[in-house]
Amino acid sequence: MKPSTRFFEFNYSPVLNLFDSDVVDLRVNYKDFVPFGEDNNLPRQLIKLAREVPVHRAILNSKTSYIVGQGIQSSDTVTSTFLDQPNNHKEPFSTILKRLVFDYLTFGNCYYELVSNRNRDFVYIYHQDATRVRRHVDGKQALIHPNWQKFKGKSDKYLELVALFPDRTKGKDGLYHSMIQLKDYEPEFWYYGIPGYYAGVRNIIITGLTNIWNQSRLESSFASAGLLIIPGVNTDEAAEELDKLFNEYKGALGSKANEIIIQYLSDLGPGISAQEAKFIAFAKSEEGNWLDLHLQSEISLITIHNWFKTLTPYSNEKGTYESSRILNEYEIAMSTVIQPIQEFFLRSFQQSLQAYNLDLKDFEFINKPPVSRINPMKYVWEVRRDSGLDYDPNDPAQKLLVLQLRNIYPSNEELNI
């Protein structure tokens, strides 16, 4: 079968070409920046994986949403004002945070830039696209370029150099810029982190390839690849006419057929054909193997991402999950994944912004579980009130505790009032 042309555009193979270490030999390697991946193209390959593999992207989106939560809040007036308008683009802080978390989960690195004047009378914070940033070999600067495949060296007019925090660089705008990098820890890597799912990237690739295979099968109307033998073709002109006819026929179907090898045979003599026209289908492994491979690779993605089934907007299991399971997995995710990453970001924001005389106070994430758990010690009328329903504190039925209702109507499911 001939793969879809998108496969060549997607080009999975370079994803696995990662240096054993990013400590470069300045005599033989890049002199202006530290490449990320063997061809300095790893970030682009990782984001293409995220675009092309649905379950992989769903998990990245889900983790990002849970880590960002409902945003960040503060009862401190100065901190709250900064969160409402952290830069002159009037972007809310939650938007910047969401982009940073997505980059961090996708690439293992994320970058934000702090901008101020000489006296640090104010500070703006901006997100920087992680695919555009590379580290300088001196370890003190970041290089920003819109397209690293077209990078022309340190004289490139599109190149920007920004000092890494706590140093600052005076930009063309007359303001002072400083770049902060947040990265996953990876042994032997100094300049970059790699995403936590990288050890299972082959499973992600398999999922993407089986998707392409299914697409090709659908586009070819599930036709079999094989050898088509046509006798009685005695001249090159006749063969060319038949090729043209076959191509027009395929175009009329509007599909990309499986690869069919066409063999023309000339007559042994006038009116004597070598054999009859026939089609020989190529033998294949059972399609069930492909389906099982696709199913198993998708299931494995949840483990690869260190995530949970009930928190992923996809499931290979039939039926729905109980509220108790969702809440239990959410609590585990909070303590093992969500809060550690939230604290990692909060610590970075607090430390970097303190250098600009901005002391963030009462600075915390707003976390909300995907389903609500009813307090068993509340009255029914209180639960109805909190849920936005009509309630009557004087109604005898609503004056019961939720716990009392559970004793009357025991159920494994969360009570729906």
Q: What share of the chain in percent tops pLDDT 90?
A: 32
- Same domain (yes/no): 301, 159: yes
- Same domain (yes/no): 263, 391: no
SS3 content of the chain, % helix, strand, coil (to 5): 45, 15, 45
- Same domain (yes/no): 267, 318: no
What pLDDT digit, counting tens, does each position of 190-222 carry? 899 999 998 888 888 877 776 666 666 656 555
Q: Look at the block and give the residue holding tokens 């009329």.
A: 252
Domain termination site, one of 239, 260, 283: 283
- Same domain (yes/no): 279, 188: no
- Same domain (yes/no): 136, 241: no
Q: Which two tokens stand for residue 86?
A: 């952290």
Cα(353)–Cα(362) distance, integer angstroms: 14
Q: Which residues pair with 182 in a beta bridge?
A: 110
- Same domain (yes/no): 239, 200: no
Q: Provide the 10 A C-beta neighbour count for residue 78.
A: 12
Average pLDDT over residues 31-60: 87
Q: Which two tokens stand for residue 294?
A: 């696709």
pLDDT score of 1: 35
Range of the domain at 410: 374-417
- Same domain (yes/no): 26, 37: yes
pTM above 0.75, yes or no: no
Nearest to 312 by CA among 139, 17, 64: 64
- Same domain (yes/no): 162, 262: no
Classify burial at 358, counting beta carbons within 10 Å of its beta carbon; exposed 0-12, middle 13-18, buried 19 or more.
buried
**pLDDT band of 394, cuts 50, 70, 90:** confident
- Same domain (yes/no): 34, 172: yes
Domain termination site, one of 255, 283, 311: 283
- Same domain (yes/no): 408, 261: no
Residue by residue, DSSP assigns 303-316 as HHTT--GGGSS--S
- Residue 230 CA: distances (Å) to CA of 96, 236, 259, 271, 356: 63, 14, 16, 14, 79
Domain count, the chain: 3
Least confident range of 45-59, 69-83, 217-231, 374-388: 217-231
Domain termination site, one of 371, 387, 404: 371
- Same domain (yes/no): 141, 289: yes
- Same domain (yes/no): 150, 186: yes
Q: Which two tokens stand for residue 165?
A: 């925090």
Distance of CA 264 to the CA centre of its chain: 48
